[in-house]
Structure 1
């Protein structure tokens, strides 16, 4: 992408405008709402503050900095009984104080992210708990989230939404990738969230990958590396939040989900250097604050059978020594099955730290894990100087990213930053450049919607409703019939009956290739094939993985959006009706079903009007 395409040049102008607006909002949001933490005033420079703080910390406080945990509750001080079995205390603030936590991570299922005003209130409440716990060296929290955008989005509207990494890969624009990260980062920071576990740096070379897929930019390492670097710059330089490249040493070539099983990557060292390493190397060159580990075996580096998270040859030997990375290494969730098969929940954190990790994410048995790390330091299994080096990295990140100087967000500024019209317009423009027209054999697109009778069917209540609404506003008479991820024969029959009097059928698919999990009945494939057999004009829109078409190759019209977020579906409607001409190309190869050596549609393929 060294020679910018026409759309990249246009995106550059958009990036300048959007970043200017975002920067203005964040500058206002950065106005402190409270005094500096104890120990900051009068200390000269970053290293002075780090050394002063480290020297005053107790062992318990140092160990606490190594843990980032999820807490239940929508505000900091209200007791939530779900915290009791995990931590023995009820309120999020009590959890922070009990363990002197280094960080907290937000999820929808913990009730942490209900709306922007609630999020900023929770963030400030948790920071207050960290900074008023009575110790000699209180340290503000990392408040973290997985706001990758696309299929992994924790904070929904009114926060600005983008279609995710693979969509950005389809757009093939560094400025667009940076814009998406910058706006996301600025909005997170306005809500008091200072750490984003993104971007995904895995290179998705396996079309059957159940856990990465569209979270990856591309199956081509060079494109993935360029966009990863652009997003690191967007998050950290423009957005002011810490960025975390994941999942080292690379999770892109597996058909196993590490949340529930233990993947094994069989790449040689040479293959890793060519395929997996480039995005991580690019992120390191860009100054990435954090790198997240993967719970998978990589025998070319370590044949012990240990996951990379617990592997000293991988985390210290490869990441620290070979790649020269000296930022924070954080584990993926220690509650995932891929890291729990071989050792107990108390032993895993100790082994991760011994391997080279600095921070432990979501330990499932916190009392046991915290005690085990304390015991490991007291027994010199973890040397005190090694502990100090880890804490020093965490403190440096917090100081360098501005968390120490500005631990609180200003609630009054949330509305002027989060989901503002300039951000939403930028998201629409970026997303318009990501919808890929893969097939248009019958010339069905662009569709003159006015006066047409249209059936919108397939995956997703919100997805089909958003698409139907967009077509209705353009003059079509639309019937909506959502059939789910695994349609029954009865639902397929109902859709066929509904299609009988329609001029056009638009059918959305979501991982229709995955009959082992997502579409266990094969119903999505059956739905598309039987709709095609009616002879009607059928437009297939894959709203997640672009690989679905391998399972119904007879489809003459096929679009890939890489996301079922409304911003992506609305962009697809603009492409379908010709309001926007498609300009994106496939960022991956689409292989034939059951034959990965045969490529149906190659990387770079894409049609326009």
Structure 2
């Protein structure tokens, strides 16, 4: 592994002030000097953040997954860096990058080694989506923490700050220095298919407080936080991965709702902001997505909100940004709009050459490119990557998934579980009166790092609390035969715990719950994702909301069911009535407890 002196030498002239990792804008002279020695292709490369398939920087064990790269002879992260000099790498899940902590740390060091070996070698900014809850790219044995809406239900900014500090500390130990979190979207649309529980809630001031707290927690761990998805993705019924959402808010409503958490993030000194692939006619009437909108990114974000940090696009392979323009135009238009980092275009060769061509032909000036490259270099310097690009692989086990972090995750989760119904005081259950439990219901694909399907995790946790709990998965769309088998199994137990996942009026899951209720057995529903499920369950005596189905949230729900802890969560979103969405079934802040 290159020494610190070799690393600094590879950067060809970066001064000791940058090497300390304390460089501010006063040290831009050194950064600008470095920038002046870079070739145009090197500058273009610094603007891209790409997936690098495989668990090693040099071994192409899984690189053939990405056909776009293998077609041009790039099989590994090292080859990707050598050819395109990319400034950032994004990690994805176990199948792609994140097998175990030591492997991730070795991958990070291999990526840095490959980049620093290039002429004017620069450290790479390694990023990931570690939101926790429903979206986690680094799984167990790393610490899995409650998701954003769960933290919103807990209502504690201190908890949000603690979560980010723990998450950031573990990410940094793995060589990941930019997290695409927190989600700053205000989720005011129960039908939102892409944000939902990834948001802290529906109250803009509450969301703003949580966002600022997480930014502070990541800063304390020297990891760059990323507020997303500007200008706000919380009121959509379209997933921008597959379509082109339109936000119909007036300018005044946008300012009072969507903008509030982003203003808070900027005041907190957030290092990066991610754009959303959505149209906001009140901010830009051109019909372009925000990612490609100069009025939104330069006019509003940089001009009105005063943000001068790094702007990164959401993934450029998403349909929301590809609707109007070809893949060769999107990266150029994004840079013209005010973007600094281009995340994962569908073809790096097409995107990289398009930007290079735009500069050479005068559509983009090199000065405009330099603005963005300078912001990338500033962030790398601020994070100390020039001085310390490598992680200590032998120390990973002393940081990642340690007992203190896991215990804190359980404590955080205990403050988030929300009791939405408890007719007749059915909860808590006791092993003395309800010794035999059937845990049945939906088992969606689990977030990274869960130890098994939700029914199994919940059953195991309840068994550990003195019950005899049997798990039976029905899936998210159970057939009539599966439902009948589950109902038959309920005949041999004292009570049933049923997990629900995104219930609708015609969902087979709803049929399952109704059939279980008809047996006369006590039924406890656990909404393992959206708290809105309660609206579809008017006759269920007891219902909990966990806001996600990771182990930590399900274990907390089990302790609430068993009465080991009192439910303390409060709804961070209102729940509309099932028969009339204009009416509120449970208001913002609603939540029951035991003994009150």
| TM-score of the two chains, using structure 2 as the length reference | 0.93
Name the counterpart of 1:54. 35
Match of 1:299 among 270, 281, 286: 281
Taking structure 1 as reference, are residues 82 and 469 closer, same or farther at Cα in structure 2, changes over 3 Å only?
Answer: closer
Structure 1 position 184 matched with structure 2 position 141: no
- 8 Å CA contact retained: 1:434, 1:584: yes
> CA-to-partner distance for each residue in 1:381-436, whole Å, 9 max, x for gaps?
11121111111111111111112221111101101000011101111101100001
1:310 to 2:283 alignment: no
How far did 1:512 drift?
1.8
Check the 8 A contact 2:312/2:341 in 1, yes or no.
Answer: yes
Q: CA 1:84 to 1:478, structure 2 compared with 1: closer, same or farther past 3 Å?
A: closer
Pair 1:546–1:32, CA change in 2 (3 A): farther
Unaligned runs of 5+ in 1: 1-30, 516-520
Q: State the alpha-carbon separation in 2 of the partners of residues 43 and 235 from structure 1.
A: 25
C-alpha displacement of 1:528: 1.2
CA contact under 8 A between 1:166 and 1:215: conserved in structure 2? yes
Show CA shifts across 1:59-107 (max 9, x none).
0111111100001111001123334632531121000111110100011
Q: Is residue 97 from structure 1 mapped to residue 88 from structure 2 by the alignment?
A: no
CA shift, 1:331, in A, is 0.4
Match of 2:491 among 491, 500, 503: 500
Selected match of 1:38 from 2, 11, 14: 11
* Contact kept? 2:7, 2:116, Cα under 8 Å: no
Quote the residue 1:509 is aligned against: 500
2:258 partner SS = helix
- Kindly indicate whether residue 544 of structure 2 is the aligned counterpart of residue 559 of structure 1: yes
Partners of 2:331 and 2:93 lie apart in 1 by 25
C-alpha distance in structure 1 between counterparts of 2:538 and 2:300, whole Å: 42
2:269 to 287, 293, 298: 287
Kindly indicate whether residue 453 of structure 2 is the aligned counterpart of residue 470 of structure 1: no
Aligned residue number for residue 44 of structure 2: 63
Q: How many angstroms apart in 1 are the aligned matches of 2:321 and 2:12?
A: 38
User: Are residues 410 and 40 of structure 1, via their aligned partners in 2, closer, same or farther at CA, if it must alter by over 3 Å?
Assistant: farther
Which residues in structure 2 correspond to 1:321-340 (within 5 Å)? 321-340=303-322
Whole-Å Cα distance in 2 between the matches of residues 299 and 580 of structure 1?
47
| CA distance 1:486–1:471, change in 2 (3 Å) | same
Mapping of residues 378-457 of structure 1, within 5 Å: 378-450=360-432, 452-457=435-440
Asked whether the equivalents of residues 68 and 346 of structure 2 are also in contact (C-alpha less than 8 Å), the reply is no
| Counterpart check, 1:140 vs 2:127 | no
Q: CA deviation at 1:472?
A: 1.4
- Residues 168 and 217 of structure 2 are in contact (CA less than 8 Å); yes or no, is this contact kept in structure 1? yes
1:43, CA displacement in angstroms? Answer: 4.8
In the alignment, which residue of structure 1 is the partner of 2:447?
Answer: none
C-alpha displacement of 1:48: 3.2
Equivalent position of 1:210 in the other structure:
193
Cα separation, 1, equivalents of 2:350 and 2:428? 60
- Tell me if 1:599 matches 2:580: no
Aligned CA RMSD, in angstroms, stands at: 1.6
Residue pair 1:334, 1:360 contacting (<8 A) in 2 also: yes
Per-residue deviation, residues 523-547 of structure 1 (Å, max 9, x unmatched) = 1111112212222110000111111
How far the C-alpha of 1:477 sits from its partner, in A, is 2.1
Counterpart of 1:106? 91
Q: Mapping of 1:143-292 within 5 angstroms?
A: 143-236=126-219, 238-292=220-274
Instruction: Decide whether aligned partners of structure 1 residues 468 and 396 sit closer, same or farther in structure 2, where only a CA change above 3 A counts.
Output: same
CA distance in 2, matches of 1:252, 1:261: 15
Contact 2:436 2:467 in 1 (8 A): yes
Write the distance in 2 (CA, Å) between the matches of 1:219 and 1:474.
Answer: 34
* Structure 2: tracts of 5 or more residues without a match: 18-22, 444-451
Q: Shift in Å at residue 310 of structure 1?
A: 0.6
2:476 to 485, 501, 506: 485
Shift in Å, 1:127: 0.6
What's the secondary structure of 1:442's corresponding residue?
A: helix
- Helix, strand or coil at the partner of 1:114: coil
Query: 1-side partners of 2:186 and 2:86: how far apart?
Result: 33
| Farther off after superposition, 501-510 or 77-86 | 77-86
Distance in 2 (CA, whole Å) between partners of 1:69 and 1:347 is 18
Per-residue CA deviation, residues 419-458 of structure 1 (Å, 9 max, x unaligned), is 0111011111011000011111121111112461111000
1:78 matched to which residue of 2? Answer: 59
Structure 1 residue 41, shift from structure 2 partner? 5.4
Q: Secondary structure at the match of 2:105?
A: helix
2:12, 2:114 → 1: CA distance?
17
The reply to whether residue 542 of structure 1 matches residue 527 of structure 2 is: yes
CA distance in 2, matches of 1:318, 1:99: 32
User: Taking structure 1 as reference, are residues 32 and 436 closer, same or farther at Cα in structure 2, changes over 3 Å only?
Assistant: farther
